[in-house]
Amino acid sequence: MTTAPKLRNPVFCALDTPDLGIATSWAAKLADTVGGVKLGLEFFNAQGPKGVSEVMRASGLPLFLDLKFHDIPNTVSGAVKSVVPLKPFMINVHAIGGQAMMEAAARASRDAAETYMVDRPLLIGVTVLTSMDESDLNETGIVGAVFDQVRRLAELAKISGLDGVVCSPHEAEILRRDLGPNFKLITPGVRPAWAAANDQKRVMTPHDAVAAGADYVVIGRPITAAPDQAAAAKRIVMELAA
Ligand code: C5P
């Protein structure tokens, strides 16, 4: 099976809520504007696979299922096989789990897509969480600059057969240059100039993130916390096209 088709636009809205009613209402309101929606651990741990399917039904949009698997290869392989039938457009694992784990995940996504006769989801590696700075990283025993670790993990993800990585928009330009045009770059930490930064420390506008090489931008609160979610999403998409 091949991967899913091109999206309407690169914006994935993060539906960060544990509440099924809220998530489905956001999803329905955004159905005609954003390129896709993202559900993460907060929603999945509260609502499970059934909740995921309901949100997908409400929006009809491609889903980034952001569960960031990180375990021994056999367990990650099983986790990937368990979510492929939900038909996500994109799933992810922590690249720090290593080459054997990422290869197992890649094999599992291919095998499960064949078994269930669905499109293979894009398999993405999380590099360094954007909430971590150099001193946080050093405390875990990883010495050196954050970007060196991001680049190391992105290269490892690529040779392990992953389709791309999650990174900061500030890292996108160099990763795009080093890893080639087909390796997907997904960037959170994106804020329109008119929105609050919230707890994101180093932000970039959606337009600049895409210009720097991001394939998909993940945007949560500037849309979900807006009084009119559809209008906020539309404004972002129009600014991207300008
Ligand atoms: O509301 P906001 O736009 O900050 O949401 C960003 C989304 O991207 C959240 O769901 C967050 O968990 C996710 N994310 C992030 N930084 C990462 C990885 C994921 O902000 N490094």
pLDDT one-digit tens code per residue, 97-146: 999 999 999 999 999 999 999 999 999 999 999 888 899 999 999 999 99
Distance CA 126, CA 102 (A): 11
Residue 135 CB partners (closer than 8 Å, separation 6+): none
Is residue 15 a contact partner of residue 33, using CB atoms and an 8 Å limit? no
Instruction: Tell me phi and psi for residue 36, to 5 degrees.
Output: -170, 175
Residue 68 among the catalytic residues? yes
Distance CA 118, CA 227 (A): 37
CATH number of 11-241: 3.20.20.70
The verdict on the CB of residue 129 being under 6 Å from ligand 1 is: yes
The verdict on the CB of residue 191 being under 6 Å from ligand 1 is: no
Tell if the pTM clears 0.75, that is, is over it. Answer: yes
CA 66 to ligand 1 centroid distance, Å: 10
Residue boundaries of the structural domains of the chain = 11-241
pLDDT digits (tens, 9 = 90+) for 64-108: 999 999 999 999 999 999 999 999 999 999 999 999 999 999 999
* Gyration radius (Cα) of the chain, Å: 17
